[in-house]
Amino acid sequence: MGLVGKPVKRIDGPKYVSGKAQYVADLKFADMVEIAFVRSRYGHARLRHVDVSEAIKHPYTIDIVTAKDIHEAIRPVSAKVDREGFKSTEVYPLARDKVLYVGEPIAAVVAKDRYVAEDIAEMINVDYEPLTALVYAEEALKDGAPLLHEDLGTNTLVHRLFENGDIETALQDADHIIKEHFRIERHTGATMETRGYVACYEKGSGRLTLYSSGQLPHFLRMGLSEFLRIGEHRIRVIMPDVGGGYGTKGILYPEEVLCCHLSMKLGRPVRWIEDRIEHFQSATHGWEQDHYIEVGVKKDGTILGVRNTIYVNVGAYSVYPVTAGIEPLQAGGLLPGPYKFQDYFCDTYGVATNKSPTAPYRGIARPCITFVMEGMIDRIARAVNMDPAEVRLKNMIQPEDFPYRSPTRLVHDRASYTESVKKALESAGYKEWREKQKRLREEGRYIGLGIGSYSELTGLGSGTSISPGVDYLRAGNDAVRITITPTGMIVVYIGMPSQGQGLETAITQIVADEMEIPPENIAIINNDSELTPFNLGTMASRGAVIGGVATIQGLKKLKDKMLRIAAHFMDVNIEDLEYGESGVRSKHNPAMMFTLPQLAGLAYFAVHKLPPDLTPGLEVTQYYDPKFGTFANGTHLAVVEIDPEIGSVTLLDYTIVDDCGTILNPMLVDGQLKGGAAQGISGALLEKLVYDNNGQLLTGTFMDYLLITARDLPQFRIVHLVTPSERVMTGVKGVGEGATVGSPAAVINAINDALVPMGAQVNTFPTGPQEIFQKIRETKNP
């Protein structure tokens, strides 16, 4: 039938657009009670006393807990890291003697509904002794800075030096050394559905079921088992329909542990649904980084070496399971991107501050390092007076260089780095825009062109840890379980969860093609720790890469078995049979055929007639390990106009050239690209979590934390290049994060290109009218 490669509509689409999706907040259980939290109003304070004496007397209080009530039942949540330079922290689900960020939970009130619970929570009095809050990483590194975790003796949770070649010589040999400080502000996933949990403990069976709006069903089960001290086999984690994850839901949260604990204690379902202020205050943030980078280049634009110091502000705690290491390590490890240089020195710090903990956020560090590296490429171009596209083409890993080993020891498989740049220039009409730019400048208009080119390591397997030093964050253990039911329907239980990406549709297409059956006969089951094989969860753009191959390999095994069953019952040689037209038929006589339902019937109900070496049923569990992952890549090209009078930015034209290898479903891929680019552009121009110097979050609503809307975005011109992965059987490379990686660099480079004639430059992400206007004014009146 050939569904793979076609723009098949999402099988779960109708549910989402007709309001039939079931999110955690839609679940109803008899006897369910709700939690409201008392949260810290200080960034850093000692807790002198938490007085619940009035609240406990309220007639509608079902339960109130503070740290002292739970410390015996719950172990602190902690991700163990076994590596020098790395520190673990202990997160108490309710703060004990200190609070480390605004929004940290201190007490939980249980009542019949949230309204009552909040009223009771207001009766709890917390006596704080405010301490000096640290809001910037570099401030927290200074001698004598207060310590967040006194027992660690330092605020540095992660330190790693990436070193290759000889950076000193490279910089000495350079004709130009270009230095810059880049800052990436704090962002957050701002998922449309906030976090939400319902924990149901059955006292009779001793089993705990957690419904969570999350990304990691199996890790949650593992973590809950460890921190609640109950066997993993008694825990089930189900993720109903999830309204966006982006990494923000990619950890085990203290609130989840607490919901489970209270359900176990009270013997009834306990629910907590995050409100939007709680989301901004206490759901994880991402990306806050400072880079002090210098690049040595020759007159002809050749990059000789890069030296960088990165400070990542990882917030108050190192989270479970991904740790505070994942962002800094990926920042230092992936900075070289698609560029070819070997002399590299990058000192990378992950520093604790009095802000909400950070975790991966769409692209992890890549949107930041791409912004930094691509920003440097444009600065090099200006220094050596070359076109920025030429500098890219000159310094990129060339087609003949693959496989290419990066200075951080990652081996790039074949990608289309230079081709993607050329394609972007051609598709966007780069030359024409450059001419137009000149012409319009004479009319007093400021147009800018910006390129954001990136490489993205996706589909990681056992060969590269997702977060070095964390044993259990090594992939390669992804699996699918496939069952052909007695009536010949196919159910694929896939460990990889989904938060709306459309993975179910892609897998359905693969099964439909492989088995030559209509999509209606296929069901995909995921988001359930009990039904599906173990899986690390949604991270690092692995879904289609790994799930797709495992599915095909598993189906091949089932086909083999069906051939054997057919050979036995037809009494012919297996070599004379083939799978085709959704059944097994004779190569010589097409009339001799067993359909899929017939074969399934035989496998399940003619067990007494099966040969002794054939097991009954049709079921297989298939693992797939892509070992080293595969490099996807792309180039974004943005055209902007700046109004120097008010500093505003208008996007005039936007081109996305993406290469995610073989495309399973162009509609899904384009959806990822459009959404990813919108999220990246929004991050580059608007989104910024702001704390004041006392650690108070100033952006607690969507009026302060701005998201872009379709109104401010141009139509994206999407161009596909297809360089099938050499490492993955299907040729597929990941696509979930790519567009978020390339877009901030493209947009901010375009802004800087437009600012060149005024002698102004911006180096923060996001930037916006205020900063742009300021920079223009500074150059006018230095």
Question: Could you list the residues that contact another protein (CB under 8 A)?
Answer: 41-42, 102, 122, 277, 280-281, 692, 694, 696-701, 703-704
Joined tokens for residue 239: 């993720």
**Residue placing its CB nearer to another protein in the complex, 560 or 692:** 692
Nearer to another protein, 102 or 545 (CB): 102
Of the pair 146, 757, the CB lying nearest another protein is at: 146
For residue 687, the minimal CB distance to another protein (Å) is 16
Contact criterion met (CB below 8 Å) for 722 and 663: yes
Please report how close the Cβ of residue 31 comes to another protein at its closest, in angstroms: 29
For 292, other C-beta atoms within 10 Å of its C-beta total 15
DSSP H or E segment with residue 779: helix 769-780
Query: Which is nearer to another protein, 94 or 102 (by Cβ)?
Result: 102
If the CB atoms of residues 113 and 692 are measured against another protein, the closer one turns out to be: 692
Q: Which is nearer to another protein, 631 or 691 (CB)?
A: 691
The answer to whether 552 touches 729, Cβ cutoff 8 Å, is yes
Closest approach of another protein to the CB of residue 541, in Å: 33
Encoded amino acid at 31, one letter: D
- 278 vs 296: CA distance, rounded Å: 45
- The least CB distance from residue 207 to another protein, in Å, is 38
* Residue listed under structure tokens 């920025």: 388
Quote the CA–CA distance of 110 and 53 in Å, as a whole number. 15
- Measured from the CB atom, the residue of 139 and 401 that comes closer to another protein is 139
State in angstroms the smallest separation of the CB of 704 from another protein: 6
Burial (CB < 10 A; 0-12, 13-18, 19+), residue 441, is: middle
**Shortest Cβ 248–another protein spacing (Å):** 18
Look at the block and give the residue holding tokens 């992965």.
725
CA nearest to 735, candidates 368, 456, 473: 456
DSSP state of 386: -
Pick 133 or 373: Cβ nearer another protein: 133
Least spacing, CB of residue 253 vs another protein, in Å: 19
Q: How far is the CB of 73 from another protein (least distance, A)?
A: 29
- Closest distance between another protein and the C-beta of residue 41, in Å? 4
3-state secondary structure of 423: helix
| Most distant CA pair in the chain, distance | 93
Give me 649's structure tokens.
């930015």
Q: What are the structure tokens assigned to 7, written together?
A: 């723009």
- Least separation in angstroms between residue 108's CB and another protein is 16
Query: Residues 452, 374: contact at Cβ < 8 Å?
Result: yes
Pairing type for strands 45-51 and 98-99 reads antiparallel
* Torsion from C-alpha of 133, 138, 142, 147, nearest 10 degrees: 40
Nearer to another protein, 279 or 414 (CB): 279
Strand partners, 91: 77
Residue 422: how many CB atoms within 10 A of its CB? Answer: 18
Sign of the Cα pseudo-torsion (600, 602, 604, 605, in order): positive
CB-CB contact of 639 with 717 (8 Å): no
Residue-by-residue DSSP string for 281-333:
HHS-BB--EEEEEEEEE-TT--EEEEEEEEEEE--S-PPTTTTTTHHHHHHHH
User: How far apart are the C-alpha atoms of 185 and 766, rounded to whole Å?
Assistant: 7
What is the closest distance, in whole angstroms, from the C-beta atom of residue 255 to another protein in the complex? 18
| Residue spans of alpha helices (H) in 196-253 | 217-228
Residue 115 Cβ vs another protein, minimum distance, rounded to whole Å: 15
- In the complex with another protein, which residue's Cβ is closer, 26 or 54? 54
Complex with another protein: residue 195 or 366, whichever CB lies closer: 195
Report in angstroms how near the CB of residue 246 gets to another protein at its nearest.
Answer: 21
Bin 421: left if φ > 0, else alpha if -120 < ψ < 50, else beta: alpha
Give CA separation, 379 vs 388, 391, 473, in Å: 8, 10, 37
- Report which secondary-structure segment, H or E, holds 419: helix 417-428
CB of 43 or CB of 250, closer to another protein: 43
Nearest approach, Cβ of residue 604 and another protein (Å): 59
Closest CB to another protein among residues 680, 695: 695
Q: Closest separation between CB of residue 703 and another protein, Å? A: 7
d(CA 454, CA 421): 10
Q: Taking CA 425 as the corner, what is the angle to CA 421 and CA 427, rounded to the nearest 5 degrees?
A: 110
Q: How far apart are CA 482 and CA 480, in angstroms?
A: 6
What is the four-CA torsion angle of 255, 261, 267, 268, rounded to 10 degrees?
10
User: By C-beta, is 277 or 440 nearer to another protein?
Assistant: 277
| 426/704 with CB nearer another protein | 704
Q: Measured in Å, how far apart are the chain's first and last C-alpha atoms?
A: 67
Closest distance to another protein from the beta carbon of 686 (Å): 15
C-alpha span between 626 and 624 (Å, rounded):
6
Q: What is the CB-side half-sphere exposure of residue 41 using CA atoms within 13 A? A: 7
Crossing angle for the helix pair 366-384 and 738-755, to the nearest 10 degrees: 30
Q: With 0-12 CB in 10 A as exposed, 13-18 as middle and 19+ as buried, what is 68? A: exposed
Give residues with Cβ within 8 angstroms of 181, minimum separation 6: 290, 291, 292, 293, 763
In whole angstroms, the minimum distance from the beta carbon of 123 to another protein comes to: 9
Q: How far is the CB of 61 from another protein (least distance, A)?
A: 17
Cis? peptide before 14, omega within 30° of 0: no
Considering beta carbons, is residue 687 or 753 the nearer one to another protein?
687
When the beta carbons of 31 and 704 are compared against another protein, the nearer one is: 704
- Which residue, 190 or 593, has its beta carbon nearer to another protein? 190
